[in-house]
Amino acid sequence: MGEISCSNGIGNGNGVNGKTHSSLNGYRKSCWYEEEIEENLRWCFALNSILHTGASRYQDIALLDTKPFGKALIIDGKLQSAEVDEFIYHESLVHPALLHHSSPKTVFIMGGGEGSTAREILRHKTAVKVVMCDIDEEVVDFCKAYLVVNREAFCDPRLEVIINDARAELEIGKECYDVIIGDLADPIEGGPCYKLYTKSFYEHTVKPKLNRGGIFVTQAGPAGIFSHTEVFSCICNTLKQVFKYVVPYSAHIPSFADTWGWVMASDTPFTLSADESDSRIKQRIKGENRYLDGKTFSSASTLSKAVRKSLDNETHVYTEGTARFIYGHGSVQKQNQA
């Protein structure tokens, strides 16, 4: 649950639970964003300002200017990305799959309304057509207007933006793709996306829409030493029921206050070495990656002993009837800053 609160910086007035305190005796008021990660664990950071808040028929939306992480996009009270470190998430989501593919020309993005995933894909010289399908037009328009870093991507003629449910769009469409990317919101109880993490969706919708040698990759939620059992381990196990080759990997995202996970899957084996990855990066990608190279991916896909053991022993298969969810269902509450 995400909350914005203000405090005066004295005594124990720390703005918890959305209480707003007036400035007293000349003390400067501070404003904070707070997100409940677990029942007994909250993550908060100071704000410079609240840039914009709004709501669509699907979600609450906020853009905050934070002191430690720059501009941060908040949807339904959950931090989606922050200006300072979003490159870690998006490079990790996009580049391993596109580099492991022999020649990725067509890419379908499920979600991705922020535009950052499209931005990273469009850096690949092989990319001919990128389809970004997001259900929420207001989020897409919001990000076009406020996230300056992605404006060039939204103007790229190779990008086609479709406003629709990704599942419906894949099912009605005739085209197949070299890579399909799940840049979806986390599976939150009551949220719009959890059905796109199920075995039936992977088996009957995603896999048939991949070209020969095609690769699917999805964000898979928290993957920390304690948090990976929420959804990461069962998403990985679910994909193992559908694809022959599955590679889970993770990276620490400072603004998420946790290690984050992705899972890459295909019926073609992943054989690219670190040196071969670096060679393809030089040949295929415009500009220099800030985070990901061959050695980084090798490290990211070498999970800790505890997480490996947990994934090996995972038996849960994600279905609509047996869905798992990450903790919380938040909403941003804008407090009086006067």
Alpha carbons 67 and 275: distance in angstroms, whole number? 38
- Let me know if 178 is a catalytic residue: no
197 DSSP assignment? G
Buried b / exposed e along 148-183 (16+ C-beta atoms within 10 A): eebeebbeeeebebebebbbebbeeeeeebbbbbbb
Catalytic residue among 134, 136, 178, 183: 183
Residues with Cβ < 8 Å from 107, sequence gap 6 or more? 98, 121, 127, 129, 130, 131, 177, 178, 179, 180, 181
Lookup result for tokens 């709501």 = 55
3-state secondary structure 317-329: CCCCCCCCCCCCC
Supply 235's token pair. Answer: 């998403």
**What are the C-alpha distances in Å from 305 to residues 75, 174, 263?**
33, 43, 17
Instruction: Give strand ranges (E) for 168-257.
Output: 177-183, 210-222, 245-253
Supply 93's token pair. Answer: 């989501």
- Residues serving a catalytic function are 183
